[in-house]
Amino acid sequence: MSIVLPRAVMPDADFLREVRVSYATGANGCAYLMMGHPEAHERRGTSIDRHLRGIAVGLGLREGEGYPPTPRLLYYAWGAWALDYGHPETLLALPRPPHGWATRAQGDRAAHIGVCLDPALPPSTPDRVLTGTVGYKADRRLGLIH
């Protein structure tokens, strides 16, 4: 008897602590946030790959060109940034972004999000990135996120 593991697994808070984040402001002025894992590699099907895909699925990210809108939100409250990645109980706490990036995301009320399936940020090949655009919301209820 064999067990078939799902392609995407919603990660918990323990895995999220290992996620690396890279911020950039594009030539078009948009705020970009890329997430990945330092031990990700080209071999598909590992638990790291499935967890990264779980974040991407939860965010509603897609393969292919562009950054389509997603139903998820980027939150800022009391100096903390967090991303709703679809987990019923956990938000992804983000490191403090550069001031210019934060100002742009707040002004545009959106940020382009990517999950990189390669170990390096930014990714070495565009086809190893799942992308989308999340909305932005300032929310005082998140004051306890650190």
CA distance 116 to 41: 10
> What's the pTM value of the predicted model, to 2 decimals?
0.84
* Per-residue model confidence as pLDDT tens digits over 55-97: 999 999 988 888 999 999 999 887 889 999 888 888 889 999 9
Amino acid occupying residue 65 = E
* Per-residue model confidence as pLDDT tens digits over 92-145: 899 999 999 999 999 999 999 999 988 888 777 777 899 999 999 886 554 433
